[in-house]
Amino acid sequence: MLLLGVLPTCLAACLVTGAAAVPGPKDGLAESARGRQWPLRAMDVQEAWQRSRGAGVTVAVLDTGVDPRHPDLAGVVVRGPDLTGADRTRFGRHGTAMASLIAGRGHGAGRTLGVLGVAPEARILSVRVTLENDDPQRGDARVGARSGLAVGIRYAVDHGAQVISMSLGGGEGVQEGSPEEEDAVRYALGKNVVLIASAGNDGAGANRRNFPAGYPGVIAVGAVDERLRRAPFSNRHDYLSVVAPGTGIVSADGPDSYLIADGTSSAAAFVAGVAALVRSRYPALTALEVRQAIQRGARHPAAGPGYGHGVANALGALQAAEQMHRIPLAAVSRQARSSVAHDRSRELIGIGLLLVVAVLATRVAITR
């Protein structure tokens, strides 16, 4: 994620009356944050909410950790393990930002303030697998090992995640991937879990292959700007699935503020939210079918490797999923019984006609 600006806030004093009140940013700032959420309009998210809001779905955010103290994420976050090997666990800013884009619920009266995620009724499982770019421990070879991602994927699968969001990659040593990570990806797909990852942010330079986005079966997401044009920094490869908003993105930051940033990280988080909407509405669909629904429902498809199947669209994905939705087993059973009865009726009619022909033939023989 490319940081453009931080919007600091002041915390209001809270009167404790039996339970700690949730601190919140100043109302003016929270209102400004909501007004800046252009991706919700570009992806037809509000129209999609008439069909699904992500209820019952757990999205694992494999990142720098998610801060549950942010008012837009109150009651949303389940805290998983810290797999970085760091001396002390911190709540990551990057992970918090991604979680808010997936399942932010806003705050205040009627939740009209703050950031709304694409799937505001989904839950977040936070698994810390990497450190912030400016963390002083990042340079320690013993800390933040890539093996943490493989372990984190397996942990998320085994603890009920239906969607795994990985806004990761772009750093040193991630252009080759690893057998452990690829095995973990296959394990998740075998358990019918949807995996989403950011395509990477060096598209204007080396445009290197990026993992985990490059693993087969992972939904790799690039970025577009507000005019739905490919962002120059967004990586371009043939494994790209879709693109999503990734410039001028406002999100939660730390326990009590917001930031505006560019990057494919945000784009991947938005698509993870779309996957949660589809999984909530159509839980019988497989991980592959969810991926196909997201790709078929994409809007504004464009030629070239930088767009994949087009711009991810929440409503379009749900509409595509509806067409793919399996007929309920009860209906299949009824159809099967009806088919059997119909075939039996045809069989009886055939036997009857044969008997009539036989009788007529007998009469002709007797007459002669």
**Is residue 309 flagged as an active site residue?**
no
**CB distance 159 to 62 below 8 Å:** no
Residue among 126, 265, 266, 280 flagged as catalytic: 265
Residue among 44, 52, 63, 107 flagged as catalytic: 63
**Is residue 265 flagged as an active site residue?**
yes
**CB distance 234 to 199 below 8 Å:** yes
**CB distance 243 to 312 below 8 Å:** yes
Residue among 67, 72, 82, 94 flagged as catalytic: 94
- Cα distance between residue 25 and residue 189, in whole Å: 39
Nearest to 181, CA basis, from 162, 168, 200: 168
Q: What is the gyration radius of the CA atoms in the chain, in angstroms?
A: 26
The secondary element (H helix, E strand) that includes residue 261 is strand 257-262
- Cα distance between residue 103 and residue 121, in whole Å: 7
* Range 146-159 burial, b when 16+ CB lie within 10 A, else e: bebbbbbbbbbbee
Residues contacting 109, CB < 8 A, separation 6+: none
In angstroms, how far is CA 138 from the centroid of its own chain? 27
- Cα distance between residue 342 and residue 75, in whole Å: 55
**Is residue 253 flagged as an active site residue?**
no
Q: What's at 123, amino acid-wise?
A: R
**CB distance 268 to 221 below 8 Å:** yes
Which residues have a catalytic role annotated?
A: 63, 94, 265
